[in-house]
Amino acid sequence: MAAPSPTTTHHRLLLPASTHRRAAAALAPSALRLPIRARTTTRICAAAAAPAAAATAAPPASAAVAVEGKPTVLVAEKLGAAGLALLREFANVDCSYGLSPEELRAKISLCDALIVRSGTKVGRDVFEASGGRLRVVGRAGVGIDNVDLAAATEHGCLVVNAPTANTVAAAEHGIALLCGMARNVAQADASLKAGKWARNKYVGVSLVGKTLAILGFGKVGSEVARRAKGLGMHVIAHDPYASADRARAIGVELVSMEEAMTTADFISLHMPLTPATDKMLNDEAFAKMKKGVRIINVARGGVIDEDALVRALDAGIVAQAALDVFTKEPPAADSKLVLHENVTVTPHLGASTVEAQEGVAIEIAEAVTGALKGELAASAVNAPMVPAEVLSELAPFVVLAEKLGRLAVQLVAGGGGIKSVKVTYASARAPDDLDTRLLRAMITKGVIEPISDAFVNLVNADFTAKQRGIRISEERILMDGSPETPLDYIQVQIAHVESKFPSAISESGEITVEGKVKDGVPHLTKVGAFEVDVSMEGSLILCRQVDQPGMIGSVGSVLGEENVNVSFMSVGRIAPRKRAVMAIGVDEEPSKATLTKIGEIPAIEEFVFLKL
């Protein structure tokens, strides 16, 4: 076989020039290519000249008649006047607030787009009832928990959100809770209104010189940091994606999660709710914290184990908490957490300012109208439609790409952030005969989604990576072989980072993972400099060991004793009796005790557990 010939491209559509326009049209989701047809007459809001106050109230009984030839947008929850005005310039706008599920299903077949906030559930039944007419769902806010993304994608409906407009409002509310909690404002207010004068009971604590740890250094976390610095606080932050340069510019020190937990006087939460962050602040986490720590949460309720927080408050580990969000909203009337005397609560007011509401309204209106016009929406949160022939050929490689990205990011350690990801495709095809956009998008998805609230797809992958300061570069290696198979292997490298599993660092200094598709199944074939061969299903344990007899049996016995089923096992070594890496696929997640036992095997030098 001839030596590989590397060629480098960066974010380039690898298609013949003559087919660029045709391919771009084919790859655009059908939701973005909506033809403007004559529409059934429906009730719409009053004209744009109506007073602003009326624009956010329930529509009057009598309303204007829809204009034929325009798409119809159903606004199911209150939206700011500026957003409604933008919508009316392009579409018929039906403002029907407080619809029951039955009424929504009955109305949706007459609508091309739907705009909701958090109170309207847009489930599979809504998409089915639309009869294929609904092309865009706009969520006026960040979270999209109330929209069934899988059903939306299946029905060719694009989902967009408004992720930036409420950033300042959320940060300001976080600071308000921080200050109010430190000085017992809510408790003192209630006491005085009850006829008491308890000055000695409500002595607060100063913020100057105290350490504030921000967990999640994205848009809101950064704005909180700026304001906290103005209050004279020492600010540290933990976020595996945060840019060290950006943090330094604000005057913030990036630290490990351990350091953030153990040194902070105040902890402010700004991470999304993902499987990795679900109940992240639990009994174990609270036990590590400085006694008397104070907690602020304006992010997502589920990142805190609420029962564990009550125990920490009662034990004096946590002195106070200020919460705007809860696992269940609204919380139960008899919630021990809400009623706790050392807890300040607000009913999810983070985005509740006049300015933020108008900003969200404008942002979602622009996203929805842009999508209906056929523009690609940067705030799209579900996968667009891909030509069947492209998806069919690349399907197993799409799975491989996402899992390689997900595996690589789990190997990253430290708080320096990810800045550079290099993807190498080895193929016998000519550079103009393979469109890698979908593969790059799935690698970006795998790298970003595990600890982020971003939803990455073909439409927004490059935009999302750029937002987080991550440069995705691509290289093509031309291989000898049959062009019938689109790819021989995919390699993902993350540069300038530390690793939880140092053996994953290649000779050139990057975390390196490589994979192939075998019989339609993605396989991990290389970790660092070590060749392995293990199916990328379930979860994975990587062990670096001394290459000696009995190692497979030793690790297998530990897993067997704990009823953890091994699906695949592979050992790659640099030379006999030297160092080796064992890759073990498991069907179940081993307990911490089981992983500890594996680490205690004398010949095991390092290991890591990875979820695929």
Our answer to whether residue 259 is catalytic in this structure is no
- 300, 406, 476, 523: the active-site residue: 300
**Helix, strand, coil share (%) of the chain residues, nearest 5:** 35, 25, 40
The DSSP call for residue 595 is: H
Q: Please, is 519 exposed, middle or buried when counting C-beta atoms within 10 Å of its C-beta (0-12, 13-18, 19+)?
A: exposed
The two three-digit tokens of residue 76, written as one number? 């199911």
**Cα→Cα distances 579→407, 605, 610, Å:** 22, 9, 21
Our answer to whether residue 348 is catalytic in this structure is yes
Angle at 221 between CA 219 and CA 226, to 5 degrees: 95
The DSSP call for residue 306 is: H
Sequence-distant (≥ 6) Cβ neighbours of residue 240 within 8 angstroms: 409, 412, 414, 415, 417, 418, 451
Distance of CA 350 to the CA centre of its chain: 19
The backbone torsions φ and ψ at residue 274, rounded to the nearest 5 degrees and listed phi first, read: -130, 170
CA atoms within 13 A on the CB side of 248: 6
The backbone torsions φ and ψ at residue 318, rounded to the nearest 5 degrees and listed phi first, read: -100, 120
Q: Rounded to whole angstroms, how far apart are CA atoms 436 and 514?
A: 16
Closest CA to 221 of 417, 364, 412, 366: 417
3-state secondary structure of 75: strand
- 311, 340, 348, 579: the active-site residue: 348
Q: Please, is 395 exposed, middle or buried when counting C-beta atoms within 10 Å of its C-beta (0-12, 13-18, 19+)?
A: middle
Our answer to whether residue 20 is catalytic in this structure is no
The two three-digit tokens of residue 592, written as one number? 């911490």
The two three-digit tokens of residue 360, written as one number? 């969200």
Taking a C-beta distance cutoff of 8 angstroms, is the pair 497, 505 a contact? no
In terms of DSSP H, where are the helices of 429-576? 437-448, 461-467, 551-561
Q: What does DSSP say about strands 420-427 and 471-478: parallel, antiparallel, or unpaired?
A: parallel
Taking a C-beta distance cutoff of 8 angstroms, is the pair 509, 422 a contact? no
Strand partners, 296: 268, 322
The label of the residue with tokens 């100063």 reads 206
Q: Rounded to whole angstroms, how far apart are CA atoms 446 and 545?
A: 28
The backbone torsions φ and ψ at residue 265, rounded to the nearest 5 degrees and listed phi first, read: -90, -30
Q: Rounded to whole angstroms, how far apart are CA atoms 9 and 474?
A: 5
Residue 61 identity (one-letter amino acid): A
The backbone torsions φ and ψ at residue 322, rounded to the nearest 5 degrees and listed phi first, read: -125, 115
- 103, 329, 355, 375: the active-site residue: 329
Report the catalytic residues: 300, 329, 348
